[in-house]
Amino acid sequence: MSAGDLRPTISAIWRIESPKLIATLSRLLRDVGRAEEVAQDAFVSALTQWPDEGIPRNPGAWLMTVAKRRAIDQIRRDETMQRKAETLAHELAPEVFEEEFVAGNEGIDDDLLRLMFVACHPVLSKEARVALTLKLLGGLTTAEIARAFLLSEPAIAQRIVRAKRTLAAARVPFEVPASKDRAARLASVLEAIYLIFNEGYAASAGEDVLRPGLVEDALRVGRILARLVPDEAEAHGLVALMEIHASRMRARVGPTGDPILLLEQDRGKWDRLLIGRGLEALLRAERLGSLGPYGLQAAIAACHARAATPGDTDWQRIAALYDALVQLAPTPVVELNRAVAVGMAFGAAAGLELADRLVREPSLRSYYLLPSVRADLLFKLGRPAEARAEFERAAALAQNSRDRALLLARANECSAHPSTSSG
């Protein structure tokens, strides 16, 4: 079979195995950049040899063997690491490697957890954490990351290179932080995964509402993290939130690619398996103690998932959950979402009162959802002219063309309804 015929299969194996390779190599080499280079060398060897020799019975073990041997070569070139090289060479006897590889999965899990904390170290910017997480833990190429975020490949490559240099310059240790520092560092890891998911679930720019590949990558990394830190409630809360939101993806976009609002979605298209997984993860988070911000958002999503129809939605519980969320994460976006929930639970006037308080908020000045929310509430209150102006303003701020088209359509609806009853 030709290399071209096997490349998709080898690339799929790479995406699955590369995080484990890079994690283990990072522990050995103490350098994320060098570890990634060595892992990629093993991938190139697979592309060269597997078309002639066939895919090995255990491709992960094959890649790890080749990568570790290359790591040993690098270590041997560093005279200060000579003793370590001899120890590793002894451990890497080919006839026993595959058995040790299978038996050493627990160690690989530890390495993956360390790699997550390194890739999401607070010394890096949010953008750098996301790019590095996708590269090292998602197994994506630089080109794939660039396409996902609608940036040029050189820009993403520079971001990743800069992140690696920053980690090296800061001498970030390849370790899970001590318990006193772990909570803050875990928050950084969760945030990076959440940012990846959000960009996939609600693309901030471009022509597409969804980017399913990013959603899948965030879910995969989030599930790994939850397995590695089983006693961390917020890790399970984030997984619950992502699973439940991801369950709506088939219903979230119409046949022509246009977005469908939550209350207008065909709930028969919601993925019940993902909902079940999300509710199970939420239950695990609840059993571990009080819900954090991700857990509370998952509980809000669960209210929608449990409602057979939009009319069955428990909006008063959702509003109460947003009240709790505001106490833990008092951001303007959370306040805006609370205004929507209050409007649904207690009437549009109550919701508009809360939304109006955010009009002068600097961080929401260019956020298209603020005028969109206000427009919807104004429309329900029978003030279509004001609603139209707000929908048009929201459309002008929207960066995603599909969102822009939906908002302009809502603006046109206002012209066809000179008055409406209040809600």
Per-residue pLDDT of 55-96, as tens digits, reads: 888 988 899 999 988 888 887 776 555 555 556 555 554 444
Q: What is the pLDDT of residue 154?
A: 92
Mean pLDDT along residues 205-209:
66
Q: What is the pLDDT of residue 217?
A: 81
260-273 confidence digits (pLDDT tens)? 889 999 999 999 99
The one-character DSSP state at 255 is: T
Residue-wise pLDDT for 172-190, tens only, equals 888 777 767 777 778 888 8
Is 337 in contact with 322 (CB distance < 8 Å)?
Answer: yes
Amino acid at site 349: A
- What is the rounded CA–CA span in Å between residue 310 and residue 387? 23
* Residue whose pair of structure tokens reads 């830190």 in the numeric block: 229
Three-state secondary structure call for residue 259: strand
- Rounded to the nearest integer, the mean pLDDT of the chain is 85
Average pLDDT of the residues in 215-240:
90
User: CB of 387 within 8 A of CB of 379?
Assistant: yes
Residue 66 tokens, joined:
């080749």
pTM: 0.74
* pLDDT in the model for residue 15: 80
Query: Nearest-CA neighbor of 421 among 373, 384, 389?
Result: 384
Q: How many CB atoms lie within 10 A of CB 230?
A: 10
Which residue from 204, 216, 261 is spatially nearest to 243, judged by alpha carbons? 216
The pLDDT value recorded for residue 206 is 64
Binned at pLDDT 50, 70 and 90, residue 379 comes out as: very high
- Domains of the chain, CATH where assigned: 1-103 (1.10.1740), 314-423 (1.25.40.10)
DSSP 8-state code for residue 256: T
The span from the CA of 378 to the CA of 103, in Å, is: 62
How many Å apart are CA 218 and CA 200, to the nearest integer?
9
Comparing CA positions, the residue from 253, 186, 270 lying closest to residue 222 is 186
Model pLDDT for residues 100-134, shown as the tens digit of each residue: 433 334 455 678 888 888 888 888 988 898 888 88
Res 106: pLDDT: 42
**What share of the chain has pLDDT > 70, as a percent?**
87
Q: pLDDT at position 366, please?
A: 87
For residues 238 and 216, give the distance between their C-alpha atoms in angstroms, rounded to a whole number.
14
What 270-273 contacts at long range (C-beta under 8 Å, 24+ apart), as own/partner pairs, is 270/305, 271/246, 271/247, 272/247, 273/247
